[in-house]
Amino acid sequence: MEISEKLLCLFSAEVSTNGETYTVEIPRREIETGSVEPGETYRVALISADEERQSSATTSTVSDQPQPPVETGEIRYVEIEDLGKQGDGIARVERGYVIIVPDSEVGERVKVEITEVKPNFAVGEIIE
């Protein structure tokens, strides 16, 4: 299954009924990490749990946690969306994963090399 780079977050949820409507609840962590903002409109893709099980059965992962969408040494073009507490640029990629880019400004589109990868964020160095 191919997943778009525009994907903001990925999680499992049940569809619940409420009279004439149906609801998919967004986990709190998606709001807290800034992937999704309350009151905004988003596209939603639903994937059958059976298909997800088949897909994960063919993929070997070390843990149940999603793996970072970047690797050390990877080259990416990213857009700086925010500034962190220490003034470093912040870019978001798949699932809202954060790449910290020192010496960058909001609105810049930069080519970076990933120099450090952690479960919740990566650090990228501007190379162009």
Per-residue confidence (pLDDT) for residue 121, from 0 to 100:
94
Per-state percent for the chain, helix, strand, coil, to nearest 5: 15, 30, 55
Per-residue confidence (pLDDT) for residue 60, from 0 to 100:
46
| pLDDT, tens only, 90-117 | 999 988 899 999 999 999 999 999 999 9
Q: In CATH, what number is assigned to the domain containing residue 120?
A: 2.40.50.140
Per-residue confidence (pLDDT) for residue 32, from 0 to 100:
76
- Flag whether 92 is in a domain: yes
Q: Are 100 and 88 spatial neighbours (Cβ–Cβ below 8 Å)? A: yes
Per-residue confidence (pLDDT) for residue 2, from 0 to 100:
62
Per-residue confidence (pLDDT) for residue 14, from 0 to 100:
83
- Flag whether 102 is in a domain: yes
- Flag whether 107 is in a domain: yes
Q: In the chain, which residues have pLDDT < 70?
A: 1-5, 49-65
- Flag whether 114 is in a domain: yes
